Structure 1
């Protein structure tokens, strides 16, 4: 791992307030499917669509199904939403007359997509177990009075995606930072403050050589296979680190990340479950390799726990700095795991 505060910026990845992407990597993508599910559920569930006009009452119940994909790309500060969704919503109706009939059904939107953002999507009303006069009457009232409110709520979702979806707050923060003309990112200040630490310890001229072990446990709100794919995909590495990467997906294959400052070899790979790598920083003494083991556990769908163990980390790099383990742990936490959460939205 490159040294903090000594001019080697290969390990430092910054959130640039001016919007500039390092190495011309001009995009960042965030998965918005779960965010979309949450927003559409809050917009469409438990709505009173008709009450007080005649003897009919129609209310929606829950968002029962949402399929497809939704994401937001941010390119040079411009928001580019993408989504192709289909959804199903349950509803119930009551006729408050002598019959006191109750009818239920589903509302379907078979295709909601960014390419048709300027148009209202098709809305289908399905009446369950009542094809008679009452069912037909409720369906006609739904289409005449309730459909417009459904479309209004869907337009609110479309507008939210156009503004950046879950990435909106981050974009506004970056714009505010740019307006205030911050002279240096927070992480750069942190790295600068750490630069003095190796110098103080160098004065002790400690010559004893040894190794340390790093352990981390991180939680992400996604599937285990998604985290595995991100960590093994070089294009996604380029996206969330804004640095060059080459990553083999084969056992025995080599990898190079953070512009080549970290290199190694894949020793064991189990899709969505395990990554074991022979791993070293270019600043370490020649021939020294650590062993990185990442175990992926999914205790429940959509929640992934990653347990990282990195053994044989040298206490001292080839320049005499004795903060190798501390800097390596900080790099994993701040430059990899935190960045993945920020870009892909797995911390929401």
Structure 2
């Protein structure tokens, strides 16, 4: 079986003996994880809101898990960040009663628009009901959203110096401060409206979404294993693979031509992953959800794809059809008709 993507001339770059990164053809990456962690904590700590019922304040950022980096190629910047945050808020009513609760932000990522950010506000289990909870769920949540939007703006302004290298004529292109912000996708994200926001320096990659459907003559539990068991994956791909089938676990398939991460696993029912083909722009991932439905003697599989580069749509469909669906049926004898 030929390796998926092998020999594509668009991705061949001649190596130089002097290792010079000519015209920034190769990717230049800067890790900003540590800075980002400290900046997020500083923006959230001490954030406060108040009304006639009392006042609330974020007093601790207990969880700040994730990573961030800036990548440059040929004078174009791509921002990658993904964070899971948890903070503690305390409230004090006008009557002097103290309350404590939590704020969860599981999906601060360059894949999501800021308005789509999930901000969950709750009271601790042993706390009595209080109108301050509503205050935090409304005004407080919006202040958190603004703070996280500021993080994105700082990321794009404080760490872009020195990453835009000369263009073909030897002069770096200046940023136009009056440029309007583009709608967020994998490589560009807009924060809350702010007249002093720095100019956007991301490069926008047009993406698409689609779905594919198949039926397999096997049970959902067995098909689930096919997509998550390293030995079974190596069997139907006929290539080396490394698979950590846990939430947050990474995988590397087809001798490194495909890699990604499991973001959600519901045994025998659903698999959600961040998935990328090796020649996609650095750190650009699509989100793929596989839903398994028991149909008596068959299993119906629906695969939803989101964030696939538009130029890679047909190639991705063909690859999944040939190197996943057809290969699985041929290897394990699960052949069944299409929908």
TM class, shorter-chain normalised?
Answer: 0.3 to 0.5
Structure that is richer in helix per residue = 1
TM-score, length of structure 1 as denominator length: 0.40
Higher RCO, Cα 8 Å, sep 6+:
1
